[in-house]
């Protein structure tokens, strides 16, 4: 949950009406994914008057790399996304932050280029080349004008195949990451998230920051980085999507030219400790000199592979995922004026998930707001949702699909993530059916199964005296 080092938490010159988009961003939720896996995949929009298809092609290469390609010629750009199945779940806990540091260091020096040369070359052509580790996987992205694809792909393959992990860059990066963590401490939402996940997941990788902590970061040596890189950065452990003004033949030519030196290898299975689970309410309070209480309330959720995922999506939309259409927003913001933003979400990953309700409200309203949240959780478990709520939720989830695939960048990310979560050959036909078949009883059933107003973690970062804690 680390705040990006390059991000400025700074007032914008504009002030937005609402903070959170009602649509969960793709590709984490993998909503409305339509893929027909065969030699050709057609991605079809459901819920629109017109049918609109992206043709995407899937191939498993001899080295095990899954290649996904979609040609789009509306603009002379190419977007490349490589998903490597390397994440904090693959690192030893005492070296937490290893996956992240490896990703951060890929562009910081190769056999033939220094860190400065790499950034100069890609920025000179106005392209982007980034590597970052997420909770379940690492992504390396290249964004470049078609005319520069050769240079761009060469740089991309250079950082992928030939990173050197120079000692001085390692020390420098560690200092930047630790400094960034320090600065993130200023952000009450960051602090709340960190405590929340730790309380829910304990020693499980989902319980810690992707960047690690200062002591574990310090424990990482160059040998560790090399080991991690050599073990997990393998073509048979990766998915590559290329989208844009580029033909399949051109993509093959690039792979042959630049990635033929990338060798497959055995990749160890992940073994994870079980999440501890909650036996009772847990309350964590952190005192800060703030005008608002920043709060998180929640518990464990579901994995992405859970078949209840679709009913849960609908239920969550109604509860607090649907922005202004949601019950939490209606009550806490619209009716009571107590928050600018309040949401609920089921963050569903490969190895587990989290359910959380997040809100910021002035200190003295904190307890009132918690009461309303718990009330809404109970209500969802007790009463069926209305026909209107159900209909609206389904209409949004299916009808918003075109917007998730309306840029090449989104398409590239989407293709890799849906492949990663194994959403299936007939997912394109099944998804709208899954959503449309969700009934009021299903919504109540998953509410009872997955919402728990009795056993939860509550984290409050606030001026505790004013908040009454």
Partner 1 sequence: MTTRHGGGFFRRVASQHIALLALLLCLPLAASAEVKEYRLDNGLKVLIAEDHKAPVATFQIWYRVGSRNEPAGKTGISHLLEHMMFKGTPEYGSKVFSRLVQKNGGIDNAYTTRDYTAYYQVLASDRIGLSVRLEADRMENLLLAPADVRDERSVVMEERRMRYEDDPQSSLYEEVVATAFKVHPYHNPVIGWMSELASIGRQDLLRYYKRFYSPDNAVIIVAGDVKADELIREIRESFGGIPRGPEKEPVTSEEPPQKGEKRIYLRKEAKLPYVMAAYHVPGFPDSDSAAIDVLASILSGKSGRLYRNLVRDKKVALNAYASYSGLNVDPYLFFIEGTVPPGGDAGDLEKALYEEIDRLKETPPSEREVQKAKNQMEAAFIMGQDSISFQARVLGVFEMLGDWRLKDRYIEAIRGVTPEDVQRVARRYFTRENRTVGILIPEGG
Q: Which is nearer to partner 1, 223 or 289 (CB)?
A: 289
| Min separation Cβ 5 and partner 1, Å | 6
Nearer to partner 1, 66 or 131 (CB): 131
Per the listing, tokens 């401490």 go with 185
Q: Select 172 or 379, whichever has its Cβ closest to partner 1.
A: 172
440-450 vs 387-399: helix crossing angle, rounded to 10: 90
Question: Is 284 in contact with 214 (CB distance < 8 Å)?
Answer: no
Distance in Å, CB of 252 to partner 1, minimum = 24
C-beta neighbour count of 397 within 10 angstroms: 28
CB of 279 to partner 1, least distance (A): 33
C-alpha to C-alpha distance for 339 and 337, rounded to whole angstroms: 6
DSSP state of 60: E
Residue closer to partner 1 (CB basis): 296 or 350: 296
Distance separating alpha carbons of residues 172 and 460, to the nearest angstrom: 34
DSSP code of 332? Answer: I
Task: Compute the least distance from the CB of residue 400 to partner 1, in Å.
Answer: 4
Nearer to partner 1, 245 or 419 (CB): 245
Residue 87 phi/psi, 5° resolution?
-155, 175
Q: Name the residue among 235, 198, 208, 4 with its Cα closest to residue 98.
A: 208
Query: For tokens 């190895």, what's the residue?
Result: 351
Of 380 and 411, nearer to partner 1 (C-beta) is 411
Burial of 57 (0-12, 13-18, 19+ CB in 10 A): middle
User: Which of 283, 403 has the CB closer to partner 1?
Assistant: 403
Residue 379's CB is within 10 A of a number of other CB atoms, namely 14
Which of 59/175 has CB closer to partner 1?
175
Give Cα separations from 158 to 228, 252, 280, 382 (angstroms): 18, 17, 51, 57
Q: How far apart are CA 173 and CA 178, in angstroms?
A: 8
d(CA 152, CA 147): 10
Compute the Cα dihedral for 172, 173, 174, 176 and give only its sign.
positive
Minimum CB separation of residue 461 from partner 1 in Å reads 10
SS3 157: helix
Task: Give 305 or 433: the residue with its C-beta nearer to partner 1.
Answer: 433
Helix (H) or strand (E) holding 390: helix 387-399
Nearest distance from C-beta of residue 406 to partner 1, angstroms: 5
Q: How far is the CB of 176 from partner 1 (least distance, A)?
A: 7
Shortest approach of partner 1 to residue 448 CB, angstroms? 26
Least distance in angstroms from the C-beta of 217 to partner 1: 13
């Amino acid at each position: 949950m680390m705040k990006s080092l390059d991000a400025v938490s700074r007032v914008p010159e504009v002030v937005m009406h609402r903070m959170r988009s009602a649509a969960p961003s793709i590709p984490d939720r993998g909503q409305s994914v339509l893929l027909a896996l065969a030699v050709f995949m057609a991605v079809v929009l459901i819920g629109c008057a017109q049918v609109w298809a992206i043709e995407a092609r899937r191939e498993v290469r001899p080295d095990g790399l899954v290649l996904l390609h979609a040609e789009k010629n509306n603009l002379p750009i190419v977007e490349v996304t490589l998903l490597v199945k390397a994440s904090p779940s693959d690192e030893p806990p005492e070296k937490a932050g290893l996956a992240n540091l490896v990703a951060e260091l890929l562009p910081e020096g190769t056999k033939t280029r220094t860190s400065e040369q790499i950034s100069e070359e890609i920025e000179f052509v106005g392209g982007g080349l980034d590597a970052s580790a997420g909770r379940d996987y690492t992504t390396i992205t290249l964004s470049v004008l078609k005319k520069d694809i050769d240079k761009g792909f060469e740089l991309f393959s250079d950082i992928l195949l030939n990173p050197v992990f120079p000692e001085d860059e390692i020390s420098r990066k560690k200092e930047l990451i630790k400094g960034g963590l320090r600065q993130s401490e200023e952000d009450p939402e960051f602090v709340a998230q960190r405590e929340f996940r730790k309380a829910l997941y304990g020693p499980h990788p989902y319980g810690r920051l992707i960047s690690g902590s200062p002591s574990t970061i310090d424990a990482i040596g160059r040998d560790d980085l090399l080991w991690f890189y050599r073990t997990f950065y393998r073509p048979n452990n990766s998915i590559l999507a290329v989208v844009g003004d580029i033909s399949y033949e051109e993509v093959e030519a690039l792979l042959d030219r630049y990635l033929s030196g990338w060798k497959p290898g055995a990749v160890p299975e992940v073994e994870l400790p079980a999440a501890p689970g909650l036996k009772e309410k847990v309350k964590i309070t952190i005192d800060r000199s703030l005008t608002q209480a920043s709060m998180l309330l929640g518990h464990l959720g579901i994995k992405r592979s859970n078949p209840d995922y679709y009913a849960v999506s609908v239920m969550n939309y109604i509860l607090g995922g649907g922005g202004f259409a949601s019950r939490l927003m209606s009550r806490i913001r619209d009716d009571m004026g107590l928050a600018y933003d309040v949401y609920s979400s089921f963050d569903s990953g490969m190895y587990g998930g989290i359910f959380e309700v997040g809100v910021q409200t002035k200190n003295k309203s904190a307890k009132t707001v918690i009461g309303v949240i718990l009330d809404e959780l109970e209500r969802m478990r007790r009463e069926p949702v209305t026909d209107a709520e159900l209909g609206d939720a389904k209409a949004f989830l299916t009808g918003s699909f075109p917007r998730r695939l309306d840029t090449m960048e989104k398409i590239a990310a989407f293709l890799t993530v849906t492949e990663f979560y194994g959403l299936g050959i007939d997912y394109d036909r099944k998804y709208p059916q899954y959503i449309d078949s969700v009934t009021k009883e299903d919504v109540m059933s998953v509410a009872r199964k997955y919402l728990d107003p009795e056993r939860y973690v509550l984290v409050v970062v606030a001026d505790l005296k004013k908040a009454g804690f």
